[in-house]
Amino acid sequence: MKAKQPFKFVIVCLVWVLLLPVSAAIGSPNTESASPESVVHKLQNGLLHIMREGQKLGYDGRYQYLEPIIDQSHDVDMIIKTILGATYWSQLDQTQQNLLVATFRQLTIATYASQFTAYDGEIFKFIEQRELPREQALVRSQLITPSDNGTVNFDYVLYQQDGHWRIINILFDGVSDLAIKRGEYRAVMQKDGFQALIKKLKEKIALTRQNP
């Protein structure tokens, strides 16, 4: 499978500790284009495109292609706020908050651009969409590589704000990306502070360029 499969962690309990109030229920009237499933479908179509055109686009081309897709599908602001938690987030001034959001957004896009680089017949298979507590939604899917029967489970947690569904967490084979980053980022903040966290994120961004 050409798309990099995340490291296998011990399966942990699914972490839904997001504490995000939502303005509208899943059952509220929405156009099909605004449904949780369609948001995930658009993201995955974008990933398949950069995989097919990966070498032609190069890293910068993949990044630029994904940029508007990630902006529409992910609530980057809410994700990083949730990762840090209210205590650490409130310690930052507006300039620091803006810098952190911008840097985390860049890392999010760069990570996709570096992981989905070539195509080997992969397909995304939709499994189900269901409601979650706190008026959130879960979209379950799989990335399947027919050539080697490889399968990676991608489960997306979304919530609705201002009539738009946005991704706020992704689970890879049952492991919460949000939970992993929460532990990592908070540890840096606690030990070394804000500037160290920004430095760490920028180092991660630089590493993504090693896969042109």
What domains can you pick out in the chain, each with its CATH number?
32-208 (3.10.450.710)
Mean pLDDT of 90-110: 98
Give yes or no for a contact between 69 and 46, defined as CB atoms under 8 angstroms apart: yes
pLDDT at 160 over 90: yes
Token digits of residue 170: 């992704």
Cα 106 from Cα 93, distance rounded (Å): 20
Q: Report the candidate in 2, 1, 6 with the shortest Cα–Cα distance to residue 171.
A: 6
| Tokens found for residue 92 | 């930052």
Q: State pTM to two decimals.
A: 0.84
Q: How many CB atoms are closer than 10 A to CB 52?
A: 14
Q: What is the pLDDT of residue 149?
A: 82
Distinct helix (H) and strand (E) counts, the chain: 6, 5
The stretch 17-41 carries a mean pLDDT of 55
CB 168 within 8 A of CB 21: no
Question: pLDDT at position 162, please?
Answer: 83
167 contacts 156 by C-beta, under 8 angstroms: yes
CB 108 within 8 A of CB 95: no
Token reading at 41 = 């479908």
Q: Do 128 and 86 meet the contact criterion of CB atoms below 8 Å apart?
A: no
pLDDT at 199: 98
The two tokens of residue 2 are 């050409």
Q: In what helix (H) or strand (E) does residue 91 lie, and over which residues does it extend?
A: none
Question: What pLDDT does 103 receive?
Answer: 98
Token pair 């099909």 in the structure block, residue: 32
Q: What is the DSSP letter of 3?
A: S
Q: Which residue has the tokens 């949780």?
A: 36
The pLDDT of residue 136 is 95
Q: Which residues contact 44 (CB under 8 A, 6 or more apart)?
A: 124, 141, 154
